[in-house]
Amino acid sequence: GAGVSQSPRYKVAKRGQDVALRCDPISGHVSLFWYQQALGQGPEFLTYFQNEAQLDKSGLPSDRFFAERPEGSVSTLKIQRTQQEDSAVYLCASSLARDLSYEQYFGPGTRLTVT
C-alpha cells in the first residue's frame, strides 16, 4: 500500500522567503510527527499531531515555524522568513496508534536548502 509521502522532495529557497512543506500520512494513521534532520545527525522532534490536534509543539525552534493538520490527515509545515540554519531534511512520520510508543513510518523527507 501507499506509504507516507512528502512534497516537494527538494526545495531551494532564498533567505527570507517563506516555504510550505507537505506531508501525506498513511490513510487512517492518527498520529503525525515532524522532524528536522541536519546533515550527519539524527532526526530532531519538531511537533506532533493526534488527528487535527497539535498536542506537542515544543520542538519547533522559533516562531517562524508553524505546522497544521486541519482535517486530521494531510499536514503542512510552514517556515517563514527562512534562514540558512533552516537548511536540513524535514521528515514526516505517521503512526496508527494514539499510543506514541508504536512504530512510526517515515516519509522520504524534503531537503530544504536556504541560500
Partner 1 sequence: GENVEQHPSTLSVQEGDSAVIKCTYSDSASNYFPWYKQELGKRPQLIIDIRSNVGEKKDQRIAVTLNKTAKHFSLHITETQPEDSAVYFCAAYPRRFYFGSGTKLNVKP
Backbone angles phi, psi at 86, to 5 degrees: -80, -10
CB nearer partner 1, residue 56 or residue 68: 56
CB of 56 to partner 1, least distance (A): 6
Binding to partner 1 by residue 91, rule CB under 8 A? yes
Binding to partner 1 by residue 25, rule CB under 8 A? no
CB nearer partner 1, residue 18 or residue 85: 85
Binding flags for partner 1, 30-69, as an x/- string (CB under 8 A): ---x------xxxxxx--x-------x-xx----------
Cα 40 to chain centroid distance, Å, stands at: 18
